[in-house]
């Protein structure tokens, strides 16, 4: 277990060094400032000791030398303060640049990971990695990077100064050093795992809150508040337990090392007093030595605290790097072609696909669609209708077989050009925070206001837009939470009306619209679908009776296909579905 943890930490540090490499000059300058800070800080006790020795007794004060020493001490403090300020400035710059680089790369990577990764992971966990974990990592890196270096340099420098003053006392201090190292090592070995679990529980908390807040209407509609609170309390309690454990071990760092510091200081005081009495060194040198004893043990205090913060930072960094190491979506082939405008022909040749290898879904599907045909896809929930759409849009790649658009395999086309040839209106609406005009023009940002309004009129959305306070400049919240579900769907329909792509995908596109408006929108769709290949996924069979061909799916297979009349004449599964919807009429 320990070897695995060490290997993970080494790999994390190695990855971090890659991000630090572009800022090598700033880091070198930062380390030089740190060295100056440590050097002048360690020189100050020498001046203090010399100053004490200039006060030998009544009427025996060497004021000339004392004023000179005070001048040197003032200059030393000033240089130390300046070097420390520059060191902190450079540390902040490097840290925040590195954090910006990681967060930017993480967001870019999020745009590149397969849809399957987003489907299989909670949005809150992904957000936690990009936002919270990077923030925690930033805090740990900011605190630890320079303090670790200055702490080690202070320890080594202090040992050198102490040996130059008195080797015996320096030996005593060095012999007590392993106690501090043991304390720091004992605490650090237990904190990494605790901070790692704490980060995971924090991600669970973010995911749960995002789920409950984002679906507050559903929560209230199904009286889920109490059960939601129980889930929240459970995750909150787990986060509290692991947070306290991590906090406890990080909190005992300071008092533990301070106790060791007390032992060192006491030992130096007693032994040094006897040496001064014996004439082995002056009172000023003892004062310098006591200062060094304090300075020698203080870095152990800081390093112990820094190690705790670094453990937390490395645990968070590991989660970030795990996300960045997630395989990106298979890139377009080097010779991939741009599909300018599809002719509308679509062929699926013996296509098989499953989300989980052990659970087959689509099996040996063959479909040939001619340009301009209207294809309806019907079947029970879970039969593979939406999966078929995902494959057409190449959100997923097929396991076996081939899909061709305009006679060309989709893997030989760029994803961007392929998707631009499809217009999608789904039951689930896609809106972003922005104005109504911006949402309609989402797929065509250079559209004129006249084009936007024309698309809205065709979608029968112009009327309700005009009744709003700011019309097309009305600001809507994320996912359109401040407008009705029907209005959101009309805006999504207007978006497709604006783009007028050569192929359409309609998945219950009018499910949230009132009957009167639905009739009008269906008429608009009739015009839009003329001459365009259309795939219509429907549960209400009355909306697809005019389709050129109806594909009936069940358990991942196309079990029937034909026109509405042909399928009714077969008296098969489609006929049963149709009769079940209209038996009461």
- Helix and strand tally (H, E) in the chain? 20, 12
Mean pLDDT to the nearest integer, 33-55? 80
Helix (H) or strand (E) holding 346: strand 346-353
Beta-bridge partners for 552: 378, 560
Distance CA 488, CA 472 (A): 14
The predicted structure's pLDDT at residue 58: 56
Residues of the chain with pLDDT > 70: what percent?
89
Contact at 8 Å (CB) between 164 and 239? no
Smallest Cα–Cα separation from 84: which of 17, 22, 39? 39
Helix residue spans in 215-224 (DSSP H): 216-221
Class of domain 15-324: mainly alpha
Smallest Cα–Cα separation from 17: which of 288, 416, 314? 314
Mean pLDDT to the nearest integer, 93-99? 83
Give tens-digit pLDDT for 58-70.
567 777 787 888 8
The predicted structure's pLDDT at residue 57: 57
Lowest mean pLDDT among 173-182, 400-409, 469-478, 482-491: 173-182
The predicted structure's pLDDT at residue 82: 94
Does the global pTM surpass 0.75?
no
The CATH superfamily holding the domain 346-582 is: P-loop containing nucleotide triphosphate hydrolases (3.40.50.300)
Helix (H) or strand (E) holding 374: strand 374-378
Name which residue leads in pLDDT, 121 or 560: 560
Which are the contacts of 559, defined by CB distance < 8 A and separation ≥ 6? 552, 553, 572, 573
Burial letters for 173-189: b for 16+ Cβ neighbours within 10 Å, e otherwise? beebbebbeebbeebbe
pLDDT band for position 78 (50/70/90)?
very high
pLDDT band for position 585 (50/70/90)?
very low
pLDDT of 281 higher than 70: yes
Beta-bridge partners for 422: 503
Please tell me the number of Cα atoms within 13 Å of 386 on its side-chain side: 11
Place of tokens 């009936």: 552
List the chain domain ranges: 15-324, 346-582
Distance CA 51, CA 73 (A): 10
135, 140, 145, 146: CA torsion to nearest 10: 100
Same fold, 15-324 and 346-582: no
């Amino acid at each position: 277990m320990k070897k695995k943890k060490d290997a993970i930490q080494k790999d994390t540090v190695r990855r971090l060094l890659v991000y630090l490499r572009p800022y090598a000059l700033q880091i070198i300058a930062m380390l030089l400032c740190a060295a100056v800070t440590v050097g002048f800080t360690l020189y100050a006790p020498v001046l203090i000791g010399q100053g004490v020795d200039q006060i030998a007794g009544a009427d025996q004060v060497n004021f000339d030398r004392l004023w000179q020493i005070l001048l040197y001490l003032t200059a030393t403090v000033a240089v130390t303060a300046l070097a420390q300020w520059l060191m902190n400035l450079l540390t902040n710059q490097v840290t925040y640049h590195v954090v910006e680089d990681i967060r930017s790369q993480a967001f870019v990577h999020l745009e590149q990971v397969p849809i399957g990764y987003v489907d299989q992971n909670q949005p809150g966990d992904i957000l936690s990695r990009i936002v919270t974990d990077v923030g925690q990592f930033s805090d740990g890196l900011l605190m630890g990077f320079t303090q670790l270096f200055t702490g080690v340099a202070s320890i080594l420098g202090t040992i050198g100064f102490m040996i130059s003053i008195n080797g015996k006392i320096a030996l005593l201090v060095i012999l007590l050093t392993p106690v501090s190292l043991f304390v720091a090592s004992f605490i650090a070995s237990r904190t990494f795992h605790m901070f790692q679990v704490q980060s995971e529980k924090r991600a669970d908390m973010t995911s749960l809150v995002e789920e409950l807040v984002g679906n507050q209407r559903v929560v209230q509609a199904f009286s889920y508040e109490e059960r939601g609170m129980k889930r929240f309390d459970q995750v909150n309690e787990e986060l509290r337990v692991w947070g306290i454990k991590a906090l406890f071990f990080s909190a005992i760092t300071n008092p533990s090392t301070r106790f060791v510091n007390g032992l060192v200081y006491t030992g130096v005081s007693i032994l040094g007093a006897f040496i001064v009495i014996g004439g082995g060194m002056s009172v000023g040198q003892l004062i310098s030595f006591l200062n060094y004893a304090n300075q020698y043990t203080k870095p152990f205090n800081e390093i112990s605290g820094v190690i705790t913060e670094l453990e937390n930072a490395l645990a968070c960094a590991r989660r970030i790097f795990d996300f960045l190491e997630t395989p990106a979506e298979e890139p377009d082939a080097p010779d991939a072609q741009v599909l300018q405008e599809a002719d509308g022909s679509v062929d699926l040749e013996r296509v098989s696909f499953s989300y989980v290898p052990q659970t087959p879904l689509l099996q040996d599907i063959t479909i040939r669609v001619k340009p301009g045909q209207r294809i309806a896809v019907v079947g029970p929930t879970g039969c593979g209708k939406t999966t078929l759409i995902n494959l057409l849009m190449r959100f997923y790649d097929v396991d076996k077989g081939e899909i061709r658009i305009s006679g060309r395999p989709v893997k030989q086309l760029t994803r961007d050009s392929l998707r631009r040839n499809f217009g999608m209106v789904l039951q689930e609406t896609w809106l972003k925070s922005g104005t109504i005009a911006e949402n309609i023009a989402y797929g065509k940002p250079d559209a004129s206001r006249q084009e936007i309004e024309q698309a809205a009129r065709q979608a029968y959305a112009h009327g309700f837009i005009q009744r709003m306070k700011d019309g097309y400049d009305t600001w809507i919240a994320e996912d359109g939470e401040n407008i009705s579900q029907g209005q959101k769907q009309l805006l999504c329909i207007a978006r497709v009306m604006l783009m007028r792509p050569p192929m359409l995908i309609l998945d219950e596109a009018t499910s949230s619209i009132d009957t009167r408006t639905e009739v009008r929108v269906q008429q608009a769709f009739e015009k839009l679908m003329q001459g365009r290949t259309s795939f219509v996924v429907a549960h209400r069979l009355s909306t697809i009776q005019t389709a050129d061909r109806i594909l009936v799916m069940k358990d991942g297979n196309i079990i029937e296909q034909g026109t509405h009349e042909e399928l009714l004449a077969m008296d098969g599964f489609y006929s049963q579905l149709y009769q079940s919807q209209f038996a009461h009429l």
